[in-house]
Chains A and B, each alone.
Chain A
Amino acid sequence: MTDSRIIESMKEKRNTGKFIRTWGTLMGFILLFVIFTIIRPDVFPSGRNIRNIIEQVATLAIVASGVTVVMVTGDFDLSVGAIASLVGIVCAMLMEAGINTPVSIFIALLLGTAAGFINGVLVAYGGLSAFVSTLATMTAFGGLSLLLSRGTTIFGLPENFRFLGQGSLGFIPFSVILMVIVLVVVYLMLEQTTYGRRLYAIGGNEEASFLSGINTKKVRLAAFCLSGFFAAVGGVVLTSRLYSAHPQAGSPFMLNAAAAVFLGMTAFRDGEANLWGTLLGVLIMGVMGNGLNILGINTYVQSILTGVIIIMAVLLSSLAKKKA
């Protein structure tokens, strides 16, 4: 083999590796979709079921968008589930106390942002690791939710509160419209603004960003505020969807949002948190849950399969990286 052929073959391998790395997870998602469609062609690809899937993942996508912002900087937010639960409880309690719905929602969103602010201060200004500080605030916010609600379910909320999580404009559920708005706003912020570029710069190299004049503390603080805000939006929508508030209703968000962002890091951008990747991660989890339920697969087996899929995605991505 001549030198030029060897170089050619190496280039080819690198290109294949890059292709798998960029598009592999999306291809996996499409494959998953095709498999479920083949097994249940009458149900799985139907318009109604697609609407189901998107509606089911809407709240997780909103929360995971905020987590993506934090993870772009290389930080982590474990408290989003606890913030969502706390916000739901407070919002329900305010409405129960007779405060009108929009004001209750506004206060609840402020509370979520304030919770994110506390995380941001601890991490950016207190110098604590994001993992440890958000683990601590997760516990504290969780305790506060239980304390406020006395561990009980709050129900009997105003009728006009139903719209956020259960209403629709035409045939599109309102929660899905909210999800799209959040995705567009976060995408524009990450990709089209100076702030977004600063987030990525900090994620790439915080020290170099600081030396180049970026106020890294402020940028990280704002990222946590955004994560808290979007967790709050998710919490309010979930409370409306369930038409009741539960002190641990948001808890599943914590692991699911992290799993979605990690899955998303294997797509489109090389190992970096990115919004479209996160959306893909959310959709993979939604399609898996929905498809396996439709097939009537045992729920314990579903958990095993979900874990296997995440490992496979990350493994394939790292193999493709080695190949390149």
Chain B
Amino acid sequence: MRKIIVLSLIAVFLLPIAVTAAGSQEDKADVKTIAVVTPYMANATTAYVIEQFKADAEQKGWKVRVSDTAGDFGMVVSRIEDAVAQNVDAIVLGMGDPAQMTKGLITAREAGIPVFGLDAGLADGVVLNITSDNTDLGKQTAQLLVDAMGGKGEIVMYTHDPHPGVRARAVGAEEVFNSNPGIKIVNKFHIDVPGPVDNARKITEDIITADSSDKSLKGIWAGWDEPAYGATQALEAASRTDVKVVGIDGTDFAKAEIDKGGSFAGTIEQDFDQMAEKLADLIESYMAGEELTENWYQIPGKLYKK
């Protein structure tokens, strides 16, 4: 029985390797290879922007390898080191805070391999970062929520500070809430990843139960669409349509929910297509020896509401 199991496993293991190896035979020696390393591939928007970048890069004739560490930041460093060992032409960080990847960034710099941030952040060793103006995304959605609430009421915020982009959004949103005297932030909750929809749903169920007598809660600001989606479901189940929710990212499921005209008041679309395309162009220029004048590129967002 053991032999059968071992043989089956060898077959399962070798099949994809054989297929990949057969494919790589066709690669030309001068093809540029880009390694994309991300801890957040399970996040819908991360997956989308990386797929877009991959498509843009492949159009330029480059080969793209994507590694996901499923939320493990320690592993991101290892994946960067692996990419350095494979002598890739460039490394792209697909979101995540580069400040947590210092060891990998040093290894890449020592090997002369440039590292670019795709909606990540800047740190020593990162040539440039391209991102949405996250603070502005936070501000615009916060203002949308304030307007949807009629300018007054209590708010809770769903955040995820380990992600620098989400952290910047929360800072921007808080600025707007604090500048509106009718708005009071009563609590902030850290949302777990993975499992943000269910986590946000459970927290929302709990806080609306606690708020069931005074019904003073009027708004939920979420740092991205998934927790906003979970919150909307809990509000819908409890018939608390008086509470409005906003998210960020402009995902398809969020737009579908907003179109229904319930609690989900709006989201903001990041222009991931442009972000991915611009990064591919910048990498091309860099590799062609052009000097880049900036290290921080921002793409504006666009509100989506009913």
Q: List residues of A whose CB falls within 8 A of some B CB.
A: 40, 42-43, 46, 48-49, 52, 55-56, 121-122, 125-127, 142, 146, 150-153, 155-156, 166, 238, 241-244, 246-252, 289-290, 293-294, 296, 298-300
Q: How far apart are the CA atoms of A247 and B186 in the complex, in Å? A: 32
Is A43 a contact partner of B212 (Cβ separation < 8 A)? yes
Is A252 a contact partner of B198 (Cβ separation < 8 A)? yes
Is A293 a contact partner of B207 (Cβ separation < 8 A)? yes
Q: Please choose the segment from B101-109, B188-196, B291-299 that sits at the chain A interface, where 4 or more of its residues have CB less than 8 A away.
A: B188-196
Interface core residue of B5, B6, B190, B226 (most chain A CB under 10 Å)? B5
CB distance from A217 to the nearest CB of B (A): 9
Residue B233, interface by CB 8 Å: yes
Residue of B47, B197, B206 near A52 (CB, 8 A) is B206
Q: Which A residues touch B186, using CB under 8 A?
A: 296
Q: Please choose the segment from B25-33, B133-141, B250-258 that sits at the chain A interface, where 4 or more of its residues have CB less than 8 A away.
A: B250-258
Q: Which A residues touch B210, using CB under 8 A?
A: 40, 43, 293-294, 296
Residue of B1, B41, B203, B207 near A146 (CB, 8 A) is B41
26 contacts between A and B (CB under 8 A): A43-B210, A56-B202, A125-B2, A126-B5, A142-B70, A151-B42, A151-B46, A153-B253, A155-B253, A166-B233, A238-B198, A241-B201, A241-B233, A242-B201, A244-B229, A246-B197, A249-B197, A250-B195, A252-B194, A252-B195, A252-B198, A289-B202, A293-B202, A293-B203, A293-B206, A294-B206
CB distance from A38 to the nearest CB of B (A): 15
Q: Which B residues touch A251, using CB under 8 A?
A: 194-195
Is B205 a contact partner of A56 (Cβ separation < 8 A)? yes
Q: How far apart are the CA atoms of A290 and B253 in the complex, in Å? A: 27
Is A153 a contact partner of B195 (Cβ separation < 8 A)? no
Interface core residue of B192, B202, B209, B230 (most chain A CB under 10 Å)? B209
Is B47 a contact partner of A152 (Cβ separation < 8 A)? yes
- With A48-B212, A248-B195 already in contact, the answer to whether A151 and B230 are too (CB < 8 A) is no
Q: How far apart are the CA atoms of A251 and B237 in the complex, in Å? A: 24
Is A125 a contact partner of B1 (Cβ separation < 8 A)? yes
Residue B89, interface by CB 8 Å: no
- With A155-B253, A294-B209 already in contact, the answer to whether A125 and B233 are too (CB < 8 A) is no
Q: Chain B 206-225, CB within 8 Å of chain A: the 1/0 string? A: 11011011000000000000
Q: How far apart are the CA atoms of A122 and B209 in the complex, in Å? A: 46
Q: How far apart are the CA atoms of A126 and B5 in the complex, in Å? A: 7
CB distance from A167 to the nearest CB of B (A): 10
Q: How far apart are the CA atoms of A121 and B199 in the complex, in Å? A: 34
Residue B178, interface by CB 8 Å: no
Q: Which B residues touch A296, using CB under 8 A?
A: 186-187, 207, 210
Residue B48, interface by CB 8 Å: yes
- With A244-B229, A252-B198, A293-B203 already in contact, the answer to whether A127 and B2 are too (CB < 8 A) is yes
Q: How far apart are the CA atoms of A166 and B68 in the complex, in Å? A: 32
* CB nearest neighbor in A for B5: A126
Interface core residue of B206, B237, B256 (most chain A CB under 10 Å)? B206
Residue B44, interface by CB 8 Å: yes
Residue B277, interface by CB 8 Å: no
* CB nearest neighbor in A for B230: A242
Is B202 a contact partner of A153 (Cβ separation < 8 A)? no
Q: Which A residues touch B212, using CB under 8 A?
A: 43, 46, 48
Q: How far apart are the CA atoms of A252 and B202 in the complex, in Å? A: 13
Residue of A40, A126, A150, A153 near B1 (CB, 8 A) is A126
Q: Which B residues touch A40, using CB under 8 A?
A: 210
Residue B43, interface by CB 8 Å: yes
Is B203 a contact partner of A151 (Cβ separation < 8 A)? no
Is B206 a contact partner of A299 (Cβ separation < 8 A)? no
CB distance from A219 to the nearest CB of B (A): 16
* CB nearest neighbor in A for B199: A252
Is A166 a contact partner of B42 (Cβ separation < 8 A)? no
Q: How far apart are the CA atoms of A151 and B94 in the complex, in Å? A: 13
Is B205 a contact partner of A52 (Cβ separation < 8 A)? yes
Residue of B48, B199, B237, B256 near A156 (CB, 8 A) is B256
- With A242-B201, A248-B194 already in contact, the answer to whether A290 and B48 are too (CB < 8 A) is no
Q: Chain B 167-201, CB within 8 Å of chain A: the 1/0 string? A: 00000000000000000001101101011011101
Q: How far apart are the CA atoms of A126 and B43 in the complex, in Å? A: 35
Q: How far apart are the CA atoms of A290 and B207 in the complex, in Å? A: 9
Other A-B contacts than A52-B209, A242-B201, 13 sampled, CB-CB below 8 A, are A43-B209, A48-B212, A52-B205, A142-B70, A151-B41, A151-B43, A166-B233, A166-B237, A242-B197, A244-B197, A244-B253, A251-B195, A296-B210
Is A247 a contact partner of B42 (Cβ separation < 8 A)? yes
Q: How far apart are the CA atoms of A150 and B49 in the complex, in Å? A: 12
Residue of A48, A238, A242 near B209 (CB, 8 A) is A48
